[in-house]
Chain A
Amino acid sequence: MMRELGIDPVPIDVGGVLQRSVATLYSHLVTRPTGRAVRLAIETQLAEISRPALSLIDLSEVTVLDFSCADEVVAKLLLRFLEEDRPGDAYFVLRGLGDQHRGPITTVLEHHNLLAVVQLDGASFELIGTRTEIEESTWEILEEAGHVRADHVVEMFPGEAEWLALAELVERRVVLRHADPDGYYALSALVRDLPAPSSDT
């Protein structure tokens, strides 16, 4: 599906980026300068891609993630790609989140009123961050369908509130709106095409 939509997969192993970008053997994502270096490395990687990209941000090799780094690496990365002058047209899915990552990431997302898609173990996905009930239920409907053609949106989302919620989810970049073929895509449907990240990514 990603090839059909002209989207490049970009798996990013945050643990690997950490070791390369701060040139140390630390496996812990702590302190704001460290987080900033990691985020800038990810931004640079994504800016080099000319087509729209779906980036899987993999935290499975990160043992400790403090709030400062969660803010720098996750929240500021998402904020940067929500801006009009974003470095590239990238969407994000977080994966490899353990209990130790969830607290800091949820906290910083809520602090900035952000929303992110998380891949859980196996093939299930969830939203974390700030959202309304209608946004959650609308996302779940699309999540179950995988994608909805534009001419079927009224059938799938008959109420105005759901339409507005769908538009908001697109605006917040947790749903992909594609022009040709015309429709709305759950990021999870695209992620299922991606290979597991390697340490070279």
Chain B
Amino acid sequence: MKIVVLPASLDFKTYERVFDEVAATPDGNVLFDGRHVRFVDPNGMVNLLAAGSLARSRKGAPARLEFPEQSEVAGYMARMGFFRAAENVFEVVGRPPQRSEGPSDVLLEITPITENSDVHEVVDRVQKRAGAILTRRLNYPPTAVVQFSVILSEVCQNILEHAEAPGWVAAQSYNWTQRLGRQVVVISVADMGRGFQGSLSDEHSARFGDRWGDATALEAAFIHGLTRFPDSGRGQGIQQIRKQVRRWGGLISIRSGTARIADVPEWEDVPPLTEGLTAFPGSQINIIIPEHATNDA
């Protein structure tokens, strides 16, 4: 059995290591050792579900997961709905903390996206909860709540319309005082579908010839708004999300197959295009929106 030791900080910067190790285990016989995780964000949790799903599909049975020893971390994962979402993915070793039924400070728990009504549920939930977080903690005007909901709606629809497979979405705010000197909201979306190259190949691969691949497919969708649908109204969602995230000084990245593309703000140092990553199914979207500074537009 392959033991994958989860990084102490499981987030956008580190989940790639988990993907590498899981993808390199053809029989999917993996134990995810999360005992030493000290910090986890929506990217960490959602992409851990994706990694577990890949292991499960290869093994034909749930992969094993040891949850963090630190009770605050495991409790936080419970509040984010991780263990509920993990029921069909992992065999959790031991008894994980239960999610309390009381009021929650979570912006959006891990929510499976399998059908149209799930997107409505996400928007309903965020409309109720995002106001206080965006206006009080991140200093955005009240109108930003609707724009935030629109972003979530469009990224969730990306799962339904392009992946043709289930996925998850989650969002939460964090205090990045040391890293950025500001609060941020992190949105993470992942699916186990066919990825951007798979979605676009039938319609667009011929025109790109030998250049066609994961990076080209991501550029086609992310930069040029191409979709597999002949309808000319399609493809605007990602373009408009990019515009809004840029207006807010945020980061958006999409990983699919072996490549990742990003709109990178000045406070982050990830490359705008990364190729040669470990092949992984589906796509993973990461959006980080920083606190609104007084000199922002």
- Please give the residue numbers on chain A whose beta carbons come within 8 Å of chain B beta carbons, in ascending order: 24, 26, 28, 30-34, 63-68, 71-72, 75-76, 99-100, 103-104, 107-108, 111-112
Interface residues of B (CB under 8 A from A): 116-117, 119-120, 123-124, 127, 143, 146-147, 149-150, 153-154, 157, 160-161, 232-234, 236-237, 240
B233:A64 contact, CB within 8 angstroms: no
Verify A30–B123 contact, CB threshold 8 A: yes
Q: Using A64-B127, A67-B240 as known contacts, say yes or no to A31 and B143 having CB atoms under 8 A apart.
A: no
Known contacts A26-B124, A66-B154, A67-B236: does B116 contact A31 (CB below 8 Å)? yes
The smallest beta-carbon distance between A136 and chain B, in angstroms, is 24
**Residue from A30, A104, A107, A108 in contact with B119 in the complex, judged by beta carbons closer than 8 Å:** A30
Instruction: Say yes or no: A28 contacts B127, CB within 8 Å.
Output: yes
Interface pair B143/A100, CB less than 8 Å apart: yes
Specify which of A63, A67, A103, A111 lies most central, judged by the most chain B CB atoms within 10 Å of its CB.
A67
Do A66 and B120 form a contact, CB below 8 Å, given A28-B127, A99-B143, A108-B236?
A: no
Q: Which residues of A contact B233 (CB under 8 A)?
A: 71-72, 75-76, 108, 111-112
- Contacts known (A67-B240, A75-B233); A30 close to B120, Cβ less than 8 A: yes
- Chain A, residue nearest B238 (CB): A67
Bound-complex Cα distance A108 to B150 (A): 14
Q: Please determine whether A67 and B124 come into contact, CB atoms closer than 8 angstroms.
A: no
Residue of B117, B123, B147 touching A100 (CB-CB under 8 A): B147
A18–B64 Cα distance when bound, in Å, is 44
A127 to B127, CA, bound (A): 30
In the complex, what residues of A have CB within 8 A of residue B232's CB? 111-112
Which of A64, A75, A99 is the one whose CB lies under 8 Å from B153?
A: A64
> Which residue of chain A has the shortest Cβ distance to B235 in the bound complex?
A111
The smallest C-beta distance from B161 to any residue of chain A, in angstroms, reads 7
Quick one: closest B residue to A76, CB to CB?
B233
Contact A64:B154 (CB < 8 A) given known A76-B233, A100-B143, A111-B236:
no
In the complex, A72 Cα to B234 Cα: how many Å?
10
* Ranked 5 nearest A-B pairs via Cβ: A100-B146, A71-B233, A30-B153, A66-B153, A66-B150
**B237 proximity list for chain A (CB < 8 A):** 66-68
Chain B proximity of A110: nearest CB distance (Å): 10
